[in-house]
Chain A
Amino acid sequence: MSDLGYDAAHMLGAVVLLMSFALLYQRRLFSLLNVFTMQALALTATAAWQAYSHGEPHLYITALLTLVLKAILIPVALHRIVVKMKIHRTIEPALGIGLTMVAGVSLVTLSILLVLPVTADATALTRENLALSLSVVLLGLLMMISRRNAVSQVVGFMSIENGLILAAVGVAGMPLVVEMSVAFSVMVAFIIFGIFLFHIRERFDTLDMQKIESFRGESD
């Protein structure tokens, strides 16, 4: 493939990773959602570019799905939840932002370390792609555990998924990408559905320990 193709793919992937850092950095829900939208857009672009450069039309579908679901529907839905639950003020991270950033950087380093031994038989692109997506996934996970709020945790979850898609589209001729992204979207939909249905505001941090324990017949 041409240098241009490589550079473009590399660049777009880098943007996705950058957005993950940006996500970690956000304090306000709205801005968080906006950043997430941007990440989704970047991912769309990547998918489309890969579809074009590798000539794999089905990746266009992936791109389209990403665009419609992640960049439009879900952000909007989450936006409404935030408004509905009146939690659009600042969100307190479980760990401080600074700490989170440090952790994020070390995670990226770790993923680089892990990718280094991947030898030349894998193409340069694969290695880059691997390093980027690995970082994105780990950062997404970090995001999930570093935030108390359901919405931001959903965002974290979806950024993990973004990492997956990034990896999937990056490697040539990956089959079933579409199916998987669909299956995944279903799951995300479930989560949002759950948040809606049960008004899970702080479910990730379970409400009242005594109450839960009595639920479980574990209290004496």
Chain B
Amino acid sequence: MSAVAVIVATPLIGAAVLALVPGHRLGSRLNIGFSAVTLLASLVLFGLEPSSGALFVVDAFNIYLIALTAFVGLTTSVFSAGYIAHEIAARKLDERKLRFYHAMYQAFMFTMLLALSANNLGVMWVAVEGATLTTVLMVSLYRTAASIEAAWKYFILCGVGIALALFGTILMYMAAQPVMGPGMAAMTWTELMGHVTKISPAILNLAFVFLLIGYGTKVGLAPLHAWLPDAHAEGPTPISAVLSGLLLNVALYAVLRFKMLLAANGEAIAPGPLMIAMGLASLLLAGLMLYRRRDVKRFFAYSSIEHMGIITFAFGMGGPLANFAGLLHMAMHSLTKSAIFYAVGHAVQVTGTQRIDRISGLTVSHPALGWGLLAGVVAIAGLPPFGVFMSEFLLVTSTFARQPLLALPLVVGILVAFGALVLRVQQLCFGAPGRVEGSGAPVASVPVQGTLVPLYAHLALVLVAGVWLPGPLVAWFQTVAALLG
């Protein structure tokens, strides 16, 4: 447990410290430092036996998510160092805001790690709400009308969602309390999993609906997705990266925990159809939305919705193959999408615009960046040899073998989204490079601020995962897949 405690405590301390540290350079360095410590602590987990206490739980499901979160947290903090340096130079942000930004960044990491490792429904709920509040503040960091608009929308929608999720949590307790008696036990995952068979299914169903809608809002499932694109587009790019890469996963993780309960309890209605419906809705809607996007960050935000839809669909299908695909897809998507946002962040900074039609020829003007972005989009589009291909392969084949009629909309959705991705990425990466917005200097003359290491680190991981998965990971996936029913 101590390791978990460290993992969760480090960012908390980090937040406190960074709130006091002046100077954005030192701040960003410390930011990286704390994230690194968190990552190291989370790597220690791999050594330890799965364990659960009153407060924390570490099992096959969240261990890799914790590590993933810590890792993306670190790479993002590295990316953010270069990013904010540019923003400072461009006078978009000032020191005071940056102190706040760094503190909030660590606080955000804290809430997410807490939500992942919490063994208690209530604690998890509080953590997710905390994640909402911190990100709201960061989305509105630029104080532009658009960013405030976005933050406000995000806040209201997710606020309501959170409220519904809380109601669902209360219902869950209400259902468990007669069986397990009053007290903490009825709100603890490990305990619940033990007694869930005796819990009356009726309230479970009710609770799950509220939890699905509530946390589903944060997952960004259609039609609850409205906050997601604008929050991604208007906030600082590092935040877009962690939102897409981590927060969505955490919310989905919460939903899945409850799905496990329902799966374990025999009589409850199968949550599959609900998730399949919402997943397909998200996939198809997002796929269509991609075509009309002109803002590059909003574009990739919609692609996140699309992939969350695919993942939800996978878990809705259930079964060893589909669940395996879903778990793999979660990891691959968070790595790839955050990598894409790094690249997009650099691209936006060198070209000085977020308008897709004003960015072009990146492979010519900035080869490293351009090909990195291309590779990222290729990966997210489900082309080999990247990891997403494997998960989509498993998902499509297994679905078609079991439910041919469900596989068709799935494939159609993927293809529709694919078309849009290709359309835009060719525009971004090929053709003649344009000129910098405003100054009018040739884009090639502007160097990339900061390092591209995070981008390529993620791509390398996704590439490896595409052709080879380490044994332990496979083992975890398979155990969890079995639990998810």
Contacts and interface: CB of A to CB of B under 8 A. Distances in A.
B152 A203 contact: yes
Contact of A216 (B120, B133, B295): B295
A210 interface: no
Interface stretch (B95-103, B162-170, B384-392): B162-170
B297 to A, nearest CB: 9
Given A173-B181, A175-B184, A217-B354, A160 B126 contact: no
Contact of B182 (A130, A157, A173, A198): A173
A53 B181 CA distance: 17
B5 interface: no
A118 B200 contact: yes
A56 to B, nearest CB: 9
Nearest to A203: B152
A90 interface: no
Interface stretch (A16-24, A39-47, A78-86, A184-192): A184-192
Contact of B178 (A126, A175, A190, A215): A126
B288 to A, nearest CB: 15
Contact of B145 (A144, A176, A215): A215
Contacts of B171: 130, 167
Interface string A101-143: 0000000000000110111011100100110011001000100
B155 interface: yes
Contacts of A168: 170
Given A144-B160, A172-B182, A179-B122, A190 B170 contact: no
Interface in B189-213: 200, 202-203, 206
Given A118-B203, A180-B166, A157 B122 contact: no
A208 to B, nearest CB: 11
A174 B175 CA distance: 11
Interface string B118-156: 001011011001100100100000001110110010011
A46 to B, nearest CB: 15
With a 10 A CB-CB cut-off, give which of B177, B184, B355 has the most chain A CB atoms: B177
B203 A160 contact: no
B230 A216 contact: yes
A77 interface: no
Contacts of B177: 126, 171-174
Contacts of B293: 218
Contacts of A95: none
B25 interface: no
Contacts of B149: 203, 206, 212, 215
B440 interface: no
7 contacts: A121-B178, A122-B175, A122-B178, A130-B174, A173-B183, A183-B126, A187-B129
Interface of A: 114-115, 117-119, 121-123, 126, 129-130, 133-134, 137, 141, 144, 157, 160-161, 163-164, 167-168, 171-176, 179-180, 183-184, 186-187, 190-191, 194, 198, 200, 203-204, 206, 211-212, 215-218, 220
